[in-house]
Every structure is written in C-alpha cells, then in structure tokens.
Structure 1
C-alpha cells in the first residue's frame, strides 16, 4: 500500500474517533410554567414603619470626648434639657487664652489712643508734621481693630465652651442614642434622634410600577387599626432599590386602636406595621403568579421565564402573597409564561423546555 493511501486511511480513522468522542448535546430540563395573570384590583399589603413627622438628629457643634451621657433611648426630653457633655478643659483653656489676648489688645489700644492725644497736641503746636501724625492715627486704628478681633475670638471661644453641653432644641422622644462616655466624636456626628411631639405617620417604600395610592389602612390580625392618607411622596425613585418613599398620615383611628391595648401598641414609634394600600389607579401593572414562581437568592425576589429555550431571571417587586398566589410588579407582560416549580434549581442560561 502506498504511503499516500496510508495517510488517507489514518486521517479517516482519526475523524471517526473524534465523532465518537464528541459529548452529547446538553439536554433541556423539563419545567412547569404558568401564565402571569392580571391581578384583580384591590389592596396590596406592604410593610411600613411608624415614624414621627419631624425627626431631629442631635449632634455637637464641636469636637471632643464625651464626658457624660444623661439620657437613654426612649426617654422623653424637653427643650433645653442637657443630653450629653463633652470634656470642657481644652475649651476652657481656649477661653483663658482669648481673654488674655483681649486684655493685651485693649492695653495696646489704650496706649495707642494716648499716643494719638499727645501727638495731636504736638501737631497743634507745629512740633510734628501732618505725615507723622497720620502714622500715629494709623497705629491707633490698627490697635482698635486688633482689640475687636480679640473680642470676637473670645466670644467664639465662649460659644465653643457652651457647645460642650448638648441640649435638646425640641421636645420629644429619643428614639435612638449612640453616643457613649469616653467616645471621641466629631462636630456634626449624630448621637441620637429626637422624634418631636406631635403627629406620627407611616413610612412606606412603594414598588416603582405600583403608583402612589392616596389612602390605605394599618391592619393587624385582619382588623383595621387606623386609616391612612397620603401626605407626601418622593419626587424620584431610589437609585439603588428603585422604590418610591411615601409617608402616610393617620386619619381618625379605628375603634380597635382605642379599645385594644395591643392595637394601640402597634402604632408606637418605630413599630413595623402591615399597611394595606389600594393599587394606584385600577391596579394596572400588578400581576398574579403562583407562589412557587417566586425565587429569592439574596438580591431580591425574581421569577424565571423561558427565552430562546433558556431560563432567564426577571427581578420583580413582591407586593403580597397567600398560600397559593403572589402579587408582583415587574418587567413582565400579562400572559408571560413563568416557571412555577423548581426555580431553586435553575441557573441563568440553562436549557429548559416547558412541560406540555
């Protein structure tokens, strides 16, 4: 057999071997799907937080080490009540230095004024020139300005000493306190938050596509604790969460709030409450999918759809759910098939095939 024939035979055998060793194509996983349905118009339940209408952070106007803390979280405070004290020694010394500087500046001014009076008499008797007298007047003017600057520094030093005591500017309840004795703090560093006396309200973060309902209610154990009305809504969605912050003020509380201690406790500042809101407009954009379609992997809820034979996640906002269905808003159209079971086994781009 010629050498050329042997080479052709070897190449053919290698080609057959490659075809036999090629891995089989990845099989598509069978999945169950359900269409996303338009949810019936109605309320969506979200979590909200009871907040004071006006909340004021408290902080020192100067740097220093906390010497004393006189309040705890939950305490009621009145205007002018001292909350914290800083170590005042450095600021007291600054007052002493500024006071000494002022005394020296005043003595210099007194000397300069006396020199001006003496030289004026000499000028009147023509013993000195007008130019010499002008230099004397300029020296007095400079001494006067230095005295004024020294007085301003003394007042500033006294203010800083006063700032070593942090007092409440408004009456209210301390809902948060973070400063501790011995802690070194910077000027403007928040050490607590005062919820001012007066109206309270519920803060809710609304899904981007949900709209901004005008009214709602706080519910507990199926009963209405209080009714709500919209007071304000953010002008733009949060860049990170894509939600809209809204605040709802309390209307006339329901009977349960006054008769039931548990219901009243649900409305305390800082409480997390269940809020039932009507869908914005007619509820457009709110979809209903099986509970099994909701998948959470640490980045917020999502559902899975089939695109070109492969599984792809779609992030959604979960409004509420029951034993069977979940109400969501997201970048989905009515009728879109979502994978309804086994979503925890899926990976983005995995080949899948809907079970007929």
Structure 2
C-alpha cells in the first residue's frame, strides 16, 4: 500500500492484489516472440519465424542450470519456463546472441525488439524487484508479488487505507485540482485485481472495508483492463457502491471495446484512463455514460517509448467539452510530438504542466466527485447502485 502517490489524478493507491495476467502493455510470451521475429526479419537476412523462441529457450535452459549451480534449489517464483519475466531478464543475452551471429550493429535492434513490447510501469517495478532467473539470490522486494505473472492476494491493505485520514477540505499544494474532494484512492495501480474470477470472494471480503465508517469518506477509483470481469463482480455484489468510480484503460483503437464493456458495469460513475495513448481515438470513441477521461503519453526509456502526438489529446479534449465529460491531461510522456516535430520538455515524463500551452493545462474531475459528499458522509444503505 502507498499512502501517498505522485500520480496526478489521485491522492493514494492501494493494491489488494498485485500482479496481472497480461495485456497490451505486458504481452504473453507468444505475442512478444512473434513481435521480435517480425521486427528482426525486416533487419536480418536469414532470420526466420520461430528463431526468437529457439534462442530464448536455449538461454533459459542455460540460465536455469546456472541458477541450480548457484543456489541448489529454485526459490518460489523461479521457473525455467518461457515467461515474459524470463524474456525480459534475458534480453541482454539475447541481444548478444544476435550480435555474435549477425553483427554488432544489430544488437540494439534486438534489444529494442524486446523492450518495446514490455511497457507496463507496474510490471517493470516487479521485474526490478521480484524473482530473476539471472540473479537468483535476489530477494523479492517487500510488498511485491514474486513475479508480475504471479497474481498474489494481500489481505488487510484496503482496510488500512480506509482508516487513512479524510482529505476533504485539506489543501493539496502539489495537486490543487483535487482540493475540496474526498481522498481519491486509486485501486490497482500495481496490477489488475480482476485478472481471475477466482479472486472474487477475496475481493468481496477485502473491499467491504470501503463501506466502513472511515471507508465511506473516500472515493475509490478502481481501474481494470478487464471491464467484462468488473461487470460480473459488480453484479455479484449488487452493483458497485456509490463511492466508486469504475474505470478501464484505452491505449488505441484496438482497445476501444473496453469502453462498451465499462458501460455495462453497474456503477454510478465511470472513467477512462487513456494512457499510454498510442494513436488517435477521438473520432471513434463513444463517451456515452462516461464521466471522466484521463489522457497521457508513454513514459520510459528514450528510443523505446512510442510517440505521443499532442493533437490526440486536444482532439479528445474537444470531444469531452462537447459531451460534458471531465477531461484530465496527466502527462505528455517521454516523446511528445506537436505538429509533426518533437515537443521538447524538461520533465522526463512530460508531467510538468507549466511547460504546456494553455489549451493543454486541463485537469478536471467529474462533478460527481464534488457532490458525493455534499450533504456529509452517506450512510451505508444509501451507497449502492439500483
């Protein structure tokens, strides 16, 4: 649990479950290997489909034998299987193999082919703090899952967060756009709590704390890339309580279907995290039933992250204004582009809005957030959707 966060659109984060079953930001191994083959076939004469899998399989076998020699027995979380975690940890060795076989100039291309596929911030923290096949003696950082694929329950975190001090009326000097609001708690910034239906009973027990006397003082912003599962969970509990904002992520046209699925969630408030945005979506996105749109560019290593065209944000802003949807620009990312040219910023993530033009300096929250507690803290009986 993190009591305070730098994320611009909330005050705190909480993770009853850490880890994730994968998404476009943290693809399955097969998708990563296919992307590597596709990229290297355009650069290397003689590269064939399936070669990335062959090379990584050999690298994993070698690393596994080294692991056994170093520590004798694998620890929980270690595996000699083809996983996204193992691919990431062996990416440098993979690049070296490509360099040795096909020439040194292709080493960067091989490394880029891997790193450009794995862009999830939460996943990268786990990759740096969890189990590693190439560093088998490394301890897992406290509070993290063994690996990002190892979806793990952490009981008690939501209850602890519910007991945090009420922030309504408090001054947020670093986030003045949140002044006057209850504490905004981002649920699941370090994974997806809705990866598995088998976690529903656990979630129902844990999230009961959000309806405690203290929990009712806060607003809980629950983000998932699986809004279909959120709908099933909401139906199970008779609808999400009114101090929830049901949210999902959109990254491109390929994930717009999530907006339709989110509309089916029995909730009083709904929001979209359109981050990282990889393409224009304003023409096709349907904002009916949506209360909030947060937009942002991709952060990460220069040369790996995708471009974020500022025009995409301005298009979304115009659509939100037309339809009465609160609009929030979180960051412009590592590689913002304006009118076809790099938009040079000092902030590494492009999150210092004093560097932006006036038309981008927009950080709104839904009106719902303001009137939720307009008459005090609602009683538990008044908190559920109809």
Provide TM-score, normalisation by structure 1.
Answer: 0.22
Q: What's the TM-score once normalised by structure 2's chain length?
A: 0.21
Bigger-Rg structure (1/2): 1
